Amino acid sequence: MQQLLLLSADEAQTMLLSTALINSERFSVISASTCEQGYQLLLTDAGRFNGVVVNYTKSLNETAHFFSRVARLANPIPIVLLCERGNENLIISSMKNGVKDCIIKDELTDENLVRTVSQVIEAHKFEMMNAQFQKQLEERANRDFLTGTLNRHRFTELYEYELSSARRYKRPLSVAMIDLDDFKHINDAYGHKVGDEALIALSALLKEQLRAADLIGRFGGDEFIVAMPETDFSQAQSTFKRIRQALAEFNQSGQLPCELAISIGISSSDSGYESLVERADEAMYQSKMTHKTQQKTTTPPQT
């Protein structure tokens, strides 16, 4: 059985409408006599209601404000408006504010009321399912299929917005390039499945250690890029020091047959907003070359 909120300031009409809806055996009804009372019921537990029926009378003030507030709820709820003939302006403005259907009172019957409310609720369910499906499609189009991080195209779009905002308001912004060292060796020695697991593990670690406001993208096969709004160079360094520590702890857990190592390059608006990505990429390359040089000097010669 579906639950409705009936908003009506006329006690007699409230009784008649409630009876018609309940007798259909499709609905249960909770009534409110003012817009504020009705909105508070929705605000407290919007998920309990499948729809709203508003019986408009002149004594029911602030309906336009009520409609706009309901439309902004996290879980939108379909509304059916009942009003007298001659209220065309009210009907038009209400439809713009989220009302899904309207019944003129001199055409109102119990059957018409039940049918209209049922149809509006079913149509709303379909709209929500379609919106969720579209959201999922957009999410898939914007995400790397393996790691769930932003793909390069979507990262670039969001990064350009953050860069423009930081430059306009002279706020700090840092960019980091992260490369998974010896990724080809991991694939060759342990197989591509382990290689995929390594990328997934690194992306999960980045998501866990970085803030919700930070952008994380997969930039290439084994490269990730991070944009950190409101973050200067020293703060970014501290963040990635913590990420290296978290990676060391991950390696100690033995979840993969190989240890993971990363090269990191950081650039910041401390040195200007131009070419942040390119500067981070160059810094990452230098880090990788330093790491390889250290490996050569610490590896004993073959005999």
More confident call, 97 vs 81: 81
What does the pLDDT read at residue 114?
A: 95
- Please give the tally of structural domains in the chain: 2
Does residue 145 fall inside a structural domain?
A: no
- Shared domain for 104 and 186, answered yes or no, is no
What does the pLDDT read at residue 266?
A: 97
Indicate the pLDDT class of residue 249, thresholds 50, 70 and 90.
very high
Does residue 15 fall inside a structural domain?
A: yes
Which whole number is the average pLDDT over 247-273?
95
Residue-range definition of the domain harbouring residue 235? 152-298
- Shared domain for 57 and 182, answered yes or no, is no
- Shared domain for 218 and 195, answered yes or no, is yes
Name the domain boundary from 82, 112, 137.
Answer: 137
Separation of CA 263 from chain center: 30
**How does the average pLDDT of the chain come out, rounded?**
91
Among 45-54, 223-232, 287-296, the least confident range:
287-296
Indicate the pLDDT class of residue 95, thresholds 50, 70 and 90.
confident
Among 34-38, 97-101, 191-195, 213-217, the least confident range:
97-101
Does residue 303 fall inside a structural domain?
A: no
Q: What are residue 29's DSSP bridge partners?
A: 4
Which whole number is the average pLDDT over 54-82?
88
Q: Identify the CATH number of the domain in which residue 184 sits.
A: 3.30.70.270
Does residue 278 fall inside a structural domain?
A: yes
Among 86-90, 177-181, 183-187, the least confident range:
86-90
pLDDT tens figures, 9-52 = 999 999 999 999 999 999 999 999 999 999 999 988 767 899 99
What does the pLDDT read at residue 303?
A: 40
Indicate the pLDDT class of residue 300, thresholds 50, 70 and 90.
low
- Shared domain for 245 and 276, answered yes or no, is yes
Q: How far apart are the first and last CA of the chain?
A: 81
pLDDT tens figures, 47-66 = 789 999 999 988 887 888 89
- Shared domain for 202 and 176, answered yes or no, is yes
pLDDT tens figures, 271-285 = 999 999 999 999 999
What does the pLDDT read at residue 284?
A: 94
